[in-house]
Amino acid sequence: MTLTQKAQILKTLFLQKYADAKSELHYTNIYELLIAVMLSAQCTDKRVNIVTPALFAKYPNALALSKADINDVKNLIKSVSFFNNKAKNLIEMAKAVVQKFGGEIPTNQKDLMSLKGVGQKSANVVLGEFLKQNYMAVDTHVFRVSHRLGLSDSKSALQTESDLEGLFKSDLNALHQAFVLFGRYECKAVNPQCVTCFVKEYCVDSKNFKPK
């Protein structure tokens, strides 16, 4: 079996098993999703979901957040990792959205990545999750799963993203979310559930791969 054939089989299996997969971050619009994604870097979705209701209630749009007092934002998100930097980035992001995009979160990768604190991974997550656009994003779960399944042997997350795009071509947003959920609850970093794994026959190495 070639790698392309294996990828097609895995694609079908993952899309079947995770047919309605969506982000576990809580949000009601693209502004809230972008903030939740920015806060989730090196932090759990559960932790982010604890702080965002109060943050969204006080700052319901980019204009409000652009005028926020930094210490108030820090206080609202202080239980999230790297909250100092994230508070600064959130306000800078909101200012740029107001000044350059009329207060609306941009809906293309280039403009999203022009915002402070928004890298390619975050931009792709937002575009894939909210707009169902065909983007892959490689976080720690996607990296580990794709390496355990032998779909990539690249060292970096960005190169792994490119490998997965080349193999899967379509449904990248759905596959991203499927890999995240599979990695979070089954193919876990420590103690993966290999005995009951639905794709164990395709697994090449169960070690804990991490991006450099």
Active site residues: 121, 139
Nearer to ligand SF4, 91 or 187 (CB): 187
197 among annotated binding-site residues: yes
194 among annotated binding-site residues: yes
Angle, nearest 10°, between helix axes 172-185 and 3-17? Answer: 70
Near ligand SF4 by CB under 6 A: residue from 44, 170, 206, 208:
206
Does position 4 interact with ligand SF4 (CB under 6 A)? The reply is: no
What minimum distance in Å lies between the beta carbon of 188 and ligand SF4? Answer: 8
Which of 65, 82, 73, 208 has the alpha carbon at shortest distance from 144?
A: 208
Does position 117 interact with ligand SF4 (CB under 6 A)? The reply is: no
Tallying the residues shown for the chain, one arrives at 212
At position 93, the amino acid (one-letter code) is M
Identify the residue whose tokens are 């604890």. 50
Nearer to ligand SF4, 17 or 26 (CB): 17
With residues binned 3-state (H G I as helix, E B as strand, rest as coil), the percentages for the chain, rounded to 5, are 60, 0, 40
Which of 49, 88, 92 has the alpha carbon at shortest distance from 72?
A: 88
What minimum distance in Å lies between the beta carbon of 51 and ligand SF4? Answer: 31
At position 205, the amino acid (one-letter code) is D
Near ligand SF4 by CB under 6 A: residue from 18, 119, 203, 211:
203
Take residue 58 and report the two structure tokens written for it. 């006080």
**Across the chain, how many H-helices and E-strands are there?**
11, 0
Does position 208 interact with ligand SF4 (CB under 6 A)? The reply is: no
Take residue 120 and report the two structure tokens written for it. 């390619």
Contacts to ligand SF4 from residues 133-192, by CB under 6 A: 148-149, 186-187, 192
Q: How far apart are the first and last CA of the chain?
A: 29
Does position 194 interact with ligand SF4 (CB under 6 A)? The reply is: yes
Does position 193 interact with ligand SF4 (CB under 6 A)? The reply is: yes
- Residues that bind ligand SF4 (rule: CB under 6 A) add up to a total of 12
Residues lying near ligand SF4 in the complex (CB under 6 A) are found at 148-149, 186-187, 192-194, 197, 199-200, 203, 206
